[in-house]
Structure formats: C-alpha cells, structure tokens
Amino acid sequence: MDLGIKDKVAFVTASSKGLGKAVALQLSAEEAKVVICSRNDDDLIKAKADIEYKTNTELKAVRLDVTKNEQVTQAVKDIIEEFGTIDILVCNAGGPPAGMIEDFTIDDYRNALELNLISTISLCYEVLPYMKKKHWGRIINITSVSVKQPIDNLILSNTSRTGVLGFSKSLSAQVAKYGITVNAICPGYTRTQRVANLAKSFQKSGKGTISGFYKKIEDNIPMERLGTPEEFAKAVAFLASEGAGYITGTALQVDGGFVKGLF
C-alpha cells in the first residue's frame, strides 16, 4: 500500500531509541524527509547512521530536549529554514519514573507533566501555523495504554498522559477544517529500553525476577507476547498517511489486546 507520504517532511521527537526511532525508520522507508531528535548526541548519531543505512535515505538529526520550550522553538525554526514546512509531527518523549503515590513529591508530577503534556502542546503550537498554511497536516501524539487502563505502579505516567488525550481530542476538532488530523496512539507493552528498565526496577524493588516481570505482563496480553517497535511504527505510519485523512480525534491502541474496556 502506498502511504502517499513520499517527500513529506516528518518531525519525530525522542527518536534515537525505541518507539520514536522505529517510527522514524518506518517513515524514512516510506521516503518521507525525516528529522529525528533526542538529548544525547552519541545515541542520536548512531540512530541517524543506522536509519540511513537501512533505508538508503538521508536524515536530519537535532539535539533537543523537548521539555525546553526555547529549544523546541529553535528546532522548528531550523527545520522550516531547511525544508520549508513540517507535514507530519510525531510527539514523543521519555516516560516518567515508575512508582506509587508515596514515592513522589508534587514536583515529580510537575516534571511528568512537562515531559509528556507540555512538550506535546509546545510542539503543536510551533508546528501548526505551517500545517494550516499548507492545508494539510498529520499530528500523532504517542501516549500509552494507561490512558485507557491505568497501570499499577505508574502513577506519574497515568496522570500526565491523560492530559495529552484531552488536548489531542480538543485540538482535532479545532484544526480539522485546515485538513489537519490529530490522533493519539497508545502503545501497550513493547520491547524497548524503557520496558527493560522497568523490568530492572521491578527486580531491584524485590518484587520478583526479570523473567517474572515479563511473565506477569504476558499473562495479561491476549496475544501472549509484548509488541515490537516495528509493529507500533506501522500503525503510526498509517495514521500519517494520505489515506488516513478522515481519521481524527481517535486514540488507537497498539497493545495485543491488553486493554479490556470497549473504548
């Protein structure tokens, strides 16, 4: 299936590893002009080289902390100067630390909101004027299945991501008339460094072994396995496609059936 995004300019944030990197690779494979970013230069350079090698394309890589408003503004300015527009925006960031209410202060919630919610809002504010001008745009906000079914021991993530869902839904209605779609995508457990880190902290807290951590997760997934970043990236690429132009305001799970509710 031709996704119709050849030469579209795609900005995928937090993309030196894991889900963001897989999305950048998939969009590059579809011949979009892709810009990746993260905070660590070495990982960024490695990701750029790896994706360019696998897709035989050229990528732009920007060192950027998405929680720093002025850096977001500058990065978007640089991309516009080089490519003239941004057609596809995939908002992603790291995940806040795992833990229960007793583990965190109010400032930890502020940091989680900055990381997941405010970063998404500031990226959208910067990019929307260019999408409106072209009367075409795809915004895909990476959240988590926790927006539909909160996950024990992830109180910060459960809290910060639901705001992203509210923002996405509101924004989708307000920009639809400009040919811009806005969707949230909700990964379930997917094999990335983030999940490997959660497994380590599970073991460290004395709750069980690493293999016990994975078994506990798999027992709750009808597919009986974690997802792969590539499976997730294919769903994002579809939402970014020309053909997905009438899909907006949704929150799509990519979770092997993990969420038990109807919606």
Ligand X SMILES: NC(=O)c1ccc[n+]([C@@H]2O[C@H](COP(=O)([O-])OP(=O)(O)OC[C@H]3O[C@@H](n4cnc5c(N)ncnc54)[C@H](OP(=O)(O)O)[C@@H]3O)[C@@H](O)[C@H]2O)c1
Residue from 28, 141, 192, 253 that binds ligand X (CB under 6 A)? 192
Return the number of the residue (175 or 232) whose C-beta is nearest ligand X: 232
Strands (E), 70-178: 88-91, 137-142
- Cα(236)–Cα(240) distance, rounded to whole angstroms? 6
Binders of ligand X in range 23-62 (CB under 6 A) = 37-40, 43
Return the number of the residue (175 or 182) whose C-beta is nearest ligand X: 182
Return the number of the residue (13 or 172) whose C-beta is nearest ligand X: 13
Q: Which stretch binds ligand X (CB under 6 A): 79-87, 132-140, 184-192, 208-216?
A: 184-192
Return the number of the residue (88 or 175) whose C-beta is nearest ligand X: 88
Least distance from ligand X to the Cβ atom of residue 136, Å: 26
Ordered DSSP codes for 115-134: IIIIHHHHHHHHHHHHHHHH
Least distance from ligand X to the Cβ atom of residue 101, Å: 19
Nearest CA to 1 out of 176, 226, 234 is that of 234
Residue from 26, 28, 55, 92 that binds ligand X (CB under 6 A)? 92
Instruction: Work out whether 187 is an interface residue with ligand X (CB under 6 A).
Output: yes
Residue from 10, 11, 16, 120 that binds ligand X (CB under 6 A)? 16
CB-based contact 227:191 (threshold 8 Å): yes
Least distance from ligand X to the Cβ atom of residue 120, Å: 11
Nearest CA to 69 out of 77, 59, 61 is that of 77
Return the number of the residue (128 or 154) whose C-beta is nearest ligand X: 154
CB-based contact 51:21 (threshold 8 Å): yes
Cα dist. 95→115, 146, 152, 166, 197 in Å?
8, 12, 15, 18, 11
Q: DSSP 3-state assignment of 55?
A: helix
Cα dist. 132→128, 144, 177 in Å?
6, 28, 9
Q: DSSP 3-state assignment of 228?
A: coil
Instruction: Work out whether 190 is an interface residue with ligand X (CB under 6 A).
Output: yes
Angle at 125 between CA 24 and CA 92, to 5 degrees: 30
Binders of ligand X in range 134-163 (CB under 6 A) = 142, 144
Instruction: Work out whether 193 is an interface residue with ligand X (CB under 6 A).
Output: yes
Residue from 65, 78, 218, 231 that binds ligand X (CB under 6 A)? 65
Residues that bind ligand X (CB under 6 A): 14-20, 37-40, 43, 64-67, 92-95, 142, 144, 187, 189-190, 192-195
